[in-house]
Amino acid sequence: MSVRVRDISHRYGRVQALESVTADAAPGRITAVLGPNAAGKSTLLRCVIGALSPAAGCVLIDGEPAHQLPTRKLAGRVAYVPQRPQVSAAFTVREVVELGRYALAASRRRIDEALGELDLNEIADRPFPTLSVGQQQRATLARAVAQIADDGHLVLDEPASAMDLRHVRSSTALLRRLADGGATVLVAMHDLTLALSLADECWLLDHGRLVAAGPTTEVISIERLHEVFGVGFEWIERPDGGRVLLPTSA
Amino acid sequence: MNATARRHLRGLAILTALAAIAAVLRILIDRDPRDGVISLAWPHPKYAWVRWTALAVGATVGSGLATSGVLLQALLRNPLASPFILGITAGAGLGVMTAMYIGHLTGVTVASSSVLPALAGALAVMGIVYSLGQRRGWLDPVSLVLVGVIVSAICGALIMLLQHLVPAGLHGEITRWMMGRIPEDTPTASLVLVGGLSVAGIAIGMAMGPAMDAATLGDDEARSVGLALGPLRVWMFLLAGALTAGAVALCGPIGFVGLLAPHAARLVLGPHHTSLVLGAALAGIILVVGADVARQAIDFDAGRMPIGIFTALIGGPAFIWLLRTGRGQA
């Protein structure tokens, strides 16, 4: 059970979005996809969920090409949380979470658990369009949690970018529990400090190319980040012995 | 029974009752042509079939256009989507007009029923709007509506061209057809065909309700929960086009029904498409048959008013109200 990206390339018109990217995400691990804007993170994730058929190469989900898998079969293996959740009808939060089971057997227990995990019980009957973006992100994550099997694959595109700090913490703790339970977690993010604390592995992208892939502590170095982001970084020692990565003022 | 099911039952009961009231009024209402006095009375058996035909046509067209509107709004995730706004009505109208014009030129009837030319025009326009409404392979809601409005205007200009080319004696008939009418004398075969299509459209739409619920998610999200969005869109677009074509073939272009009826039903029933399709069909019947009743009662000494005037006068302000109050969700 794994996600294998094999030499994929894709372009939008003249823009090369991905170029010969090869990487693996293993079950039981959280893999962060990092890179500046337009590095190809979202395009890569769209290839992983089978929404985009790459111009070259393929993504293998448990050994089968993602874009060739029937959508219902894929839904049983891969759950997706987009950068900007969209629900064009006035469904309640609970109803949105229930959509995670659209192609799967109905499970009230899974819905209730997902609502509880994401602290949504109080707003479960509120219409989704009336929520703040952070609350919508939590509801969308709950939908994916209700969908994913214990050994499934969870693909997230900046899932907590609008959440408050408390819910960022509870959501990342949830991702850790899912990974510990056997899930493969692949998450695109911009917060390098969060990536350091959360991710076991990292894929670092720049201009559609994979700059580095491997254990987070090896991939994230000040020199490499400066090269990719064009910004200086420094390590700040914390009183508890940990380290925080911050951009330098210059 | 949970709160959602109770809401659906209550809403559908209200809409069914209103549709029944409109239907009974359409059968009973009578206006004395000499003094303009309006009365309610069971029609003389000799003329009853005229009113039953008008009722059947109104119910068929209202439910068909409304169902078409629900399908388009759900699958395009666009509350402004309707067969009229997207140019499908105009395309079907152009198909009918073209067949009429060729028939006039050659003396040969191109199609015994208007349904096939209307279907050809509707599908051609849907293909154009769907193709041009995309950006980078994604359906863009704003582009889609803009392209639909422009294609609708082009079809309108072509219809006017055909109208200009036919002999002056036919102008009046074509103008009345263009304003939408509820004929009291319709070929039974056409009525059965379009009526059957509307009933089948409602049944298919209800069966596809859960899929359309999932289709309200973004494209990638909908696929990720297991919905094959591409095939669903193609089949539902074809169904929406066929329903619109059938309505135009019977009554000419009637605006706002496909736009307003789904929103009205949504206010009563909420967003679940299984009940929404049925509710919108009932709201469409209320709107069209109710407008037909109103035009029996109102007379400016210029003959029976075209029904399209009523639906536009009711539908336009009502839709502005929906937009202003933010009650119009797809």
Do residue A90 and residue B329 have CB atoms under 8 angstroms apart? yes
The ipTM (two decimal places) reads 0.92
CA distance A47 to A122: 35
* CB-nearest partner of A102 from B218, B227, B271: B227
What are the helix (H) ranges across A15-164? 41-48, 71-75, 93-98, 108-117, 133-147
From B121's Cα to the closest Cα of chain A, the distance in A is 29
The dihedrals phi and psi of B319, each to the nearest 5 degrees, come to -70, -35
Closest to B183 measured CA to CA, from B63, B61, B22: B61
For the cut 90, the answer to whether the pLDDT of residue B196 exceeds it is: yes
Dump the DSSP string for B73-122: HHHHT-TT--TTTTTHHHHHHHHHHHHHHHHHHHSS-S-SSSHHHHHHHH
Q: Domain coordinates of chain A in residue numbers?
A: 1-77+149-214, 87-148
* CB-nearest partner of B330 from A70, A78, A89: A89
- Give CA angle at B132 (B129, B135), nearest 5°: 130
From A136's Cα to the closest Cα of chain B, the distance in A is 12
CA distance A148 to A228: 33
CA atoms within 13 A on the CB side of A246: 9
Do residue A82 and residue B221 have CB atoms under 8 angstroms apart? yes
What's the pTM? 0.89
| Average pLDDT of span A73-85 | 94
From B134's Cα to the closest Cα of chain A, the distance in A is 14
Lowest mean pLDDT among A79-93, A176-190, A208-222, B307-321: B307-321
For the cut 90, the answer to whether the pLDDT of residue A67 exceeds it is: no
Confidence at B227, pLDDT banded by 50, 70, 90: very high
Whether domain A1-77+149-214 has CATH 3.40.50.300: the reply is yes
From B73's Cα to the closest Cα of chain A, the distance in A is 10
Higher pLDDT, A235 or A91: A91
**Count helices and strands in chain A by DSSP H and E runs:** 9, 12
Any idea which residue has 């510990």 for tokens? A180
Do residue B329 and residue A129 have CB atoms under 8 angstroms apart? yes
3-state secondary structure of B139: strand
Question: CB pairs below 8 Å between A and B: how many?
Answer: 81
Q: Which of residues 122-161 of B touch A (CB under 8 A)?
A: 136
CA distance B78 to A88: 8
Beta-sheet pairing, B138-139 with B134-135: antiparallel
**Taking every pair of C-alpha atoms in chain B, what is the biggest distance, in angstroms?**
66
Query: For chain B, where are the E strands, in sequence order?
Result: 29-31, 38-40, 134-135, 138-139
Q: What is the strand order of the sheet A56-61 is part of?
A: A15-25, A3-12, A56-61, A64-65
